Structure 1
Amino acid sequence: MKFILNNEDVGTTLPPGMPLLDFIRYHQHLTGTKTGCNEGDCGACTILAGDLKQGVLVYRAWTSCLTPLGNAHGKHIVTIEGINMLPALNPIQQAMADNCATQCGFCTPGFVMSLAGFCLDRKTPDAENAIAAIDGNICRCTGYKSIERAAGTVAGLLTDRNGEEPAIFATRQQILPEYFAGIKERLKSLIPTLNGELNPPSDTHPRFVGGGTDLYVQQPEAIQEQPIRFLLGQELLKGITREDNRCVLGASVTVNDILESSIMRTWFPALGNYLKLVSSTPVRNMATIAGNFVNASPIGDMTIFFLALDATLELSDGQSVRTLPLRDLYKGYKQLNKTSAEYITRCWFELPGDSTGFNFEKVSKRTHLDIASVNSAISITIAANLISDIRISAGGVGPVPLLLTDTAAFLKGKAPGTATIKQACAIAQLEITPISDTRGTAEYKRLLLEQLIKAHFITLFPTLQVELLL
C-alpha cells in the first residue's frame, strides 16, 4: 500500500484489513487521532481523505475507526498533526480557543478535522454548512453553542474564496499548511506507482469490503485476518449516470455521492432533507449503497429508499453476471439471495415522471447519528386523480426490509382520500411483525408506521393534512 500521510509518503505491508485508526495511532504514533466509540458515532477519530476524482482534488471527512487501512491506498490521509502550524495554532484551532469551544479537549481534534474538511469542501462557505460539517462529532462537556460559534468563525475565513480551489485558497490564507497546495500534483505522481487494486489472489475467497461502516462495527477483529477485496476505490463501481430513462448507480456510490448528484437532486428535490437523517457527514462519506443493501438490516435507510423505487441489482461472481430486483434480495433475517462469491456491481431504477411523487420518512431517537426505530418511503403515481401505481417500503417492522404489497394493492385504482388512507394503514398492520427492542416496543413501531404512512400522504397531498391529523 502506498499513500500520503500528512506530508510524508508512506508505504506499508501491514494487513490491509487493519482499521486505519490503529495504523495511525499504534504504527505511526500519531495519537492526536483519538479512539472513542469504535462505532463511528463520536467523531474523535475523524481524519480527512483526499482523492483525485476526474482530476479534481476532493477531501472527505472519515471516521478512521470504521474503514480499513486498504481504503487509504493512493490517497492523502490527514490527521490533526497534519494541519498543525506550530508554534502557533492554525485559524481553525484558534477559533475553537477564542470561542471557549473546548473543555477536556478529548473531542476537539475531531471537531477541528471536520472543520478543516469544511475548509477544503466546495460547498457554499456559510455558517449553516460549517455546522452541518460537524454533525458527526459529539462533545460531552463543552456545550454546542460555543462550538457552533467557532464553526461560524471558520466560515467567515472563507468568505473571499470566490470559486478558487479550496486547497489553494486555504494555504494562501494560511488556514492550512503550505504543503496542501502541492498535494494534487503529488497524488498524480503517486497513481502510476500504485500496484493496481489491493485485491487478494484469485484462488482465495475474499471478503468484500466497501466503506466498512457496517462491517467494522460488527466484526473488526475477524475482518483483519481475512483476505479482502476492496471495492470503495474501484472506478468501475463508481458514478451516477442517466441511461435513457434509467438512473444507474455504481455499487460503491456513497450516500454523499447521491446527495451531490445533479441527477438525483433534479428528480428528488427534497433529497437533502431525506439524507440528512442518514447517519452523519463522515459516515455518509464512506457508506456505500451496496454495503447498505447486503448488510441486510431491516432498517437500512438506503435500502428502504431504493425499495420504494423498485431498484434492480446487478451481481457478479467474476465469471458471470445476473440481475435481481432489490425486493427479491432478502430471504430472511440477514439471509441473502446471493452466493458468497457474488458482489453487487451496480443498480438502477426508472426515473419518476411528472405525475409521480416520492417521499422518505424516518423516526429515530436522535436526528443525526442514529438508526431508525421505523423508516418508510413511498413512490406514488396519479392518473386521472386515481392512484395508478404505488410502492410503500417499511423498515423496523419485520425481519427484513419490507414492501407493503397488500397495502399497495388496496390503494391502487383509488383516489388518495382520508378514509382510503386510514383503511390502508389498517391493512399495513396485517403485513408487519415488529418486535420490541431497544428502539421501541412492537406497539410503538406499529403506531409509528401508521403515522409515517399518513406523513407520506400529508407531504404529497397537503390538502389531506387536517383530516388525517384528526
Structure 2
Amino acid sequence: MPMIQFILNNKTIKTSQNSGMTLLDFVRYEQSLTGTKIGCREGDCGACTVLVGTLKNNEHIEYQSITSCISPLGNAHGKHIVTVEGTNLQDKLTTAQEAMKANYATQCGFCTPGFVVSLTGFALSNSEKNHNNALNAISGNICRCTGYKAIEKAAYQVVEKLQDQKTDNSFNWLIKNEFIPDYFKSIPKRLKDLDVKNIQQPKGKYVSGGTDLYVQQADNLVDNSVHLIAEKDYLKEITFNNNICTIGSNSTVSDLWNNTELNAKLPNLRKYLKLVSSEQIRNMASFGGNLVNASPIADMAIFFLALNSKITITNVEEEKERIISLKNFYQGYKTYDLKEGELIKNITFKLPTDQTFFNFEKVCKRTHLDIASVNSAIQISLANNIISTAHISIGGVSAIPKYLHKTSSFLAGKTLTSKTIIEANDILQEEISPISDVRGTSDYKRLLGRQLFFAHFIELFPKQFTLKDFVQHA
C-alpha cells in the first residue's frame, strides 16, 4: 500500500492509512492531537481548522487554513500540516494566543483553537496585514458563547503587532515576535527531503478538495478507496489568451480571489466570492467539484453560467477531449453530461469588455457562509443602450443550476429600460419552477428571483435605475 508522507507540526509522518480518511480523524485519533476539535463535520464551524503549508518553487512555503473535517488525509501528502499544538511556544503564549487572552475573547474555549490557528495562518499569509483581511481570515470560525467584539479586538491586536513587520515576511521575524515556534525554519528543507512522488491512485470516487463530497458521503469515502486528483497539474492554473480566461478545474476559489488580472477585469470579484464561503473553504473547494456536484444552488455554477462558459471534458488517460457549453451540461437533478472515467479539465469564458457588465447576487439565511435560498448572476453587453447579448442564471428555483434561455434571448436587441426589464421578469417567472423546502416556500423563491433580477440592473446601472422604477412590481 502506498505511503502518505507529510510533516505534522514538527513530526515527519509516514502512514498507510486509507487516503480517504479525514485529516481531522487522523490528527485526533491516530496522533492524539485533540486541540483540533470536532464540531459540525461539514466545514461550517471552523473548530477543526488546521494550516496546510505547500512548498512553492522548491524554496518557500505558502500556508493556507482549511477545515480538516472534510479534507481527505491523502491531500496532506508532501505538505506541512499545522494544528494548534504545532503553534505552541515553550512556556509562553504565542501572539495570537495572547491576543485572545488579553481581550477576553474566549469563554468555554471549544472554538478557541480554531481561531488561534486561523490568526496564525493570517500572520503567515501574503495578504496585506489590515483589519479587513484579519476578519476575513477568521470568517469561517464560529463562536457560540463569546461576544464577537472581543474576538475582533483580538484580531486587531494581532494586526497591530504585524504592522511592525513591514516588508520582512520571513519566518525569522515571525519567530522573533512570537507568532510561531522556531522549528518552522526547518520545514522547507524537510519537505524537500520527503519522498513525495505522486502516489499511485486506486480506482474509486474522484475527489479534489472534498468540500461537497465529504459533507454528503463522508462515511462511504472514509471506508473505501478514493482517487485523489487535487495535485494533478493538468487540472490546475489560470491562464489568459486572446481575451479568453481558462481556469483549471482544480483551481480553488482562493485562486480566483488572489488573481490580479481577473480582479482587474471583474472589479467586484472579491465581493461576490465572499458570499460563496469562508476563507477555509475558499482555500479547498475546486471549481470542477462544484460543477459536478450539480447542486441547484451551486454558487460557482451560477457564476460561470452567466459568463457563458464552456467546459473541456477529458478522460482520465488524457487521450480524448470534448468541449461543451456549461448551459448544456446539466440534464436533471444531480445528473449531467459526464461519462464514466471522464473529468472536467477546465472552464473557459470571454473576459468582460468596457461594454460588458457582470453581477452576482445571493440571498441566504445569514449574509455570509451559508447555502443560498436563491442566487443569480447576469452578464449583459450594451451598445448605445441597446442590449447586444444577455446571459442570466439563477439557482434554487429548478432541479438544476438554471440558465435562463428564454429570458436571455428576450433581452437581446431590446432597449435597456425599466419596461424591458419588467417584461423580462414575466418570462423569467415562466422559466423557473421552484419548490417549497427548508430554504423557503415556492412563492418566496419566486419573489427572490424577481427581486434579484431587478437588483442586477439597480446595481449595474445605478444612474439609470432605482428601486422606485420597480416598486410597483415588488
Matching of residue 66 in structure 1 with residue 70 in structure 2: yes
Aligned residue identity for 1:262: T
Q: What is the rounded CA distance, in whole Å, between the counterparts of 2:264 and 2:219 in structure 1? A: 42
Q: Give the TM-score normalised by structure 2.
A: 0.96
Aligned residue identity for 1:164: D
Which residue in the other structure is 1:260 paired with?
A: 258
Q: What is the rounded CA distance, in whole Å, between the counterparts of 1:216 and 1:101 in structure 2? A: 31
Of 16-25 and 122-131, more deviation after overlay is shown by 122-131
Q: What is the rounded CA distance, in whole Å, between the counterparts of 1:412 and 1:270 in structure 2? A: 24
- Aligned pairs for 1:277-356 within 5 A: 277-317=275-315, 318=317, 319-356=319-356
* C-alpha displacement of 1:290: 0.4
The CA deviation string for residues 351-391 of structure 1, in whole angstroms up to 9 with x for no partner, is: 12211000000001112220000000000000122001000
Identity of aligned residues (%): 50
Which of these residues, 22, 32, 36, is aligned with residue 33 of structure 1? 36
Matching of residue 136 in structure 1 with residue 140 in structure 2: yes
Asked whether the equivalents of residues 198 and 230 of structure 1 are also in contact (C-alpha less than 8 Å), the reply is no
Q: What is the rounded CA distance, in whole Å, between the counterparts of 1:168 and 1:461 in structure 2? A: 49
Asked whether the equivalents of residues 373 and 440 of structure 2 are also in contact (C-alpha less than 8 Å), the reply is yes
2:70 aligned counterpart, secondary structure: coil
The CA deviation string for residues 200-247 of structure 1, in whole angstroms up to 9 with x for no partner, is: 2xxx4x211010000100011111233322121222221111022210
Q: What is the rounded CA distance, in whole Å, between the counterparts of 1:357 and 1:163 in structure 2? A: 37
* C-alpha displacement of 1:184: 2.1
Which of these residues, 235, 240, 243, is aligned with residue 242 of structure 1? 240
* C-alpha displacement of 1:405: 1.0
Aligned residue identity for 2:56: K
Q: What is the rounded CA distance, in whole Å, between the counterparts of 1:155 and 1:166 in structure 2? A: 16
Which of these residues, 8, 18, 24, is aligned with residue 11 of structure 2? 8
Asked whether the equivalents of residues 406 and 431 of structure 2 are also in contact (C-alpha less than 8 Å), the reply is yes
Aligned residue identity for 1:21: L
Asked whether the equivalents of residues 363 and 373 of structure 2 are also in contact (C-alpha less than 8 Å), the reply is yes
Matching of residue 48 in structure 1 with residue 51 in structure 2: yes
Which residue in the other structure is 2:231 paired with?
A: 233
2:186 aligned counterpart, secondary structure: helix
Asked whether the equivalents of residues 364 and 370 of structure 2 are also in contact (C-alpha less than 8 Å), the reply is yes
Which residue in the other structure is 2:401 paired with?
A: 401
* C-alpha displacement of 1:166: 4.9
2:162 aligned counterpart, secondary structure: coil
Which of these residues, 175, 189, 194, is aligned with residue 179 of structure 2? 175
Aligned residue identity for 2:449: L
* C-alpha displacement of 1:423: 0.9
* C-alpha displacement of 1:314: 1.2
Asked whether the equivalents of residues 380 and 391 of structure 1 are also in contact (C-alpha less than 8 Å), the reply is yes
- Aligned pairs for 1:199-238 within 5 A: 199-200=201-202, 204=203, 206-238=204-236
Provide closer, same or farther for how the CA distance between residues 393 and 362 of structure 1 changes in structure 2, counting only shifts above 3 A. same
Which residue in the other structure is 2:197 paired with?
A: 195
Aligned residue identity for 1:437: D
1:232 aligned counterpart, secondary structure: coil
Aligned residue identity for 1:15: N
Matching of residue 126 in structure 1 with residue 130 in structure 2: yes
Matching of residue 419 in structure 1 with residue 419 in structure 2: yes
Aligned residue identity for 2:365: K
Structure 2 gaps of 5+ residues are none
Asked whether the equivalents of residues 266 and 352 of structure 2 are also in contact (C-alpha less than 8 Å), the reply is no
Q: What is the rounded CA distance, in whole Å, between the counterparts of 1:440 and 1:415 in structure 2? A: 34
2:375 aligned counterpart, secondary structure: strand
Aligned residue identity for 2:87: I
Asked whether the equivalents of residues 209 and 228 of structure 1 are also in contact (C-alpha less than 8 Å), the reply is yes
Asked whether the equivalents of residues 121 and 166 of structure 1 are also in contact (C-alpha less than 8 Å), the reply is no
Which residue in the other structure is 2:459 paired with?
A: 459
Q: What is the rounded CA distance, in whole Å, between the counterparts of 2:108 and 2:34 in structure 1? A: 16
